[in-house]
């Protein structure tokens, strides 16, 4: 339970930086509303409600953390258990810290971690789209229709549907997410062995 609060605290502390990054990345060509990071911080603060302006889209981020982490760990744990139960010699090897315990081979760990990341990302992705739309709300048309998480979900779904709206950009996100989660779960499993937690 403590990890949840640590994660939420980290998101709250770094969210203004994510907001600034998202908007600067959005203004690639044409009219530039912001001349740089400092200018953007000043503009958001003075024209979008002070500190509150930096936290547009925070709610979908926090709401999306639980399903992402939950499905990610659940999927990885399930794949690991099923794999070691049905093909222990092909997929497993003795743990470094406890030879009586089987762990996944490194390449299988990477595969299971990547699959877990892809499934978790697919489930929580509509909330990521919602967050981005809310962050960019002030620089996009119809921003008044995307003030809350529910309004934004309805707006995106109503105007663009599921594939071109709620899941727009998912394939690009897989390129980042799958390797990241593959490495994260493999590192997690190796650290459990090095710290004698098996």
DSSP 99-153: TTSEEE-HHHHHHHHHHHHHHHHHHHHHHHHHHHHHHTGGGSTTGGG-SSHHHHH
Whether this model's pTM surpasses 0.75:
yes
What pLDDT, on a 0 to 100 scale, did the predictor assign at position 1? 56
pLDDT in tens, 84-134: 999 999 999 999 888 889 999 999 999 999 999 999 999 999 999 999 999
Mean pLDDT, the chain, rounded, equals 91
What pLDDT, on a 0 to 100 scale, did the predictor assign at position 4? 67
Contact 192, 198 (CB under 8 A): yes
Query: In the structure, what pLDDT confidence band is assigned to residue 144 with cuts at 50, 70 and 90?
Result: confident
């Amino acid at each position: 339970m403590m990890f949840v609060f640590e994660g939420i605290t980290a998101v709250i502390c770094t969210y203004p930086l994510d907001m600034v990054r998202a908007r600067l990345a959005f203004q690639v060509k044409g009219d530039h509303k912001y001349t740089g990071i400092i200018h953007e911080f000043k503009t958001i603060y003075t024209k979008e409600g002070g500190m509150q302006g930096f936290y547009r889209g925070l709610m979908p981020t926090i709401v999306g953390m639980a399903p992402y982490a939950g499905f990610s760990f659940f999927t990885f744990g399930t794949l690991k258990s099923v794999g070691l139960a049905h093909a222990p010699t092909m997929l497993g090897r003795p743990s470094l810290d406890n030879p009586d315990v089987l762990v996944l081979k490194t390449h299988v760990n990477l595969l299971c971690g990547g699959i877990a990341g892809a499934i978790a990302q697919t489930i929580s992705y509509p909330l990521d789209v919602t967050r981005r739309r809310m962050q960019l709300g002030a620089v996009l048309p119809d921003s008044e229709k995307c003030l809350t998480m529910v309004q934004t979900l309805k707006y995106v779904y109503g105007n663009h549907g599921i594939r071109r709206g709620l899941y727009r950009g998912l394939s690009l996100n897989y390129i980042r997410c799958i390797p990241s989660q593959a490495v994260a779960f493999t590192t997690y499993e190796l650290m459990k062995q090095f710290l004698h937690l098996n």
